């Protein structure tokens, strides 16, 4: 069993987590690194808005609950604009807690992929690695549009 925590973008603070939990259950998107039933959620919260004041405190609690991996939710990647603090969050969590950090949860919905392509958001080569865990095939992306 791998205990995970999920941190979402505060823009989506009212999100009930349906897509993340569905992807975790189905081992889709960034959760494809786990076997079915292997990931156990031990914390779910927001970053508390820019510049992410809740990152430290949330991770303290998640670590106290046994978190071994922190997932930064797909919303930080697909929001308009994507989170400008994402790399800082990754660096802080790795340095302070010595935890594995995964950028992404559920597969990127097709509608977000199309919009970011239209805007040119993800053209920089550095985005290739960031998007890889959540850039599923088109059929899966369409299934996450809703």
pLDDT in tens, 40-88: 999 999 999 999 999 999 999 999 999 999 999 999 999 999 999 999 9
pLDDT over threshold 90, residue 146 = no
Per-residue confidence (pLDDT) for residue 125, from 0 to 100: 95
CA 64, 39, 29, 22 torsion-angle sign = negative
- pLDDT-derived band at 93 (thresholds 50, 70, 90) equals very high
> To the nearest whole number, what is the mean pLDDT of the chain?
96
Which domains does the chain possess?
2-143 (3.40.50)
User: Helix H segments across the chain?
Assistant: 18-26, 55-64, 75-78, 86-97, 110-119, 127-131, 138-143
- Stretch 22-45: mean pLDDT: 97
């Amino acid at each position: 069993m791998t205990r995970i925590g999920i941190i979402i973008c505060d823009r989506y603070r009212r999100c009930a987590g349906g897509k993340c939990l569905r992807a975790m259950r189905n081992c889709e998107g960034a959760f494809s690194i786990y076997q079915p039933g292997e990931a156990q959620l031990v914390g779910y919260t927001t970053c508390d808005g820019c510049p992410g004041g809740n990152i430290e405190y949330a991770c303290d609690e998640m670590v106290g609950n046994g978190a071994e991996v922190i997932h930064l939710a797909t919303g930080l990647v697909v929001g308009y604009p994507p989170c400008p603090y994402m790399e800082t969050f990754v660096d802080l969590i790795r340095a302070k807690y010595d935890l594995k950090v995964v950028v992404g949860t559920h597969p990127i919905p097709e509608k977000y992929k199309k919009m970011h392509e239209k805007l040119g958001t993800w053209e920089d080569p550095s985005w290739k690695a960031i998007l890889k865990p959540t850039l599923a095939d088109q059929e899966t992306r369409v299934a996450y549009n809703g």
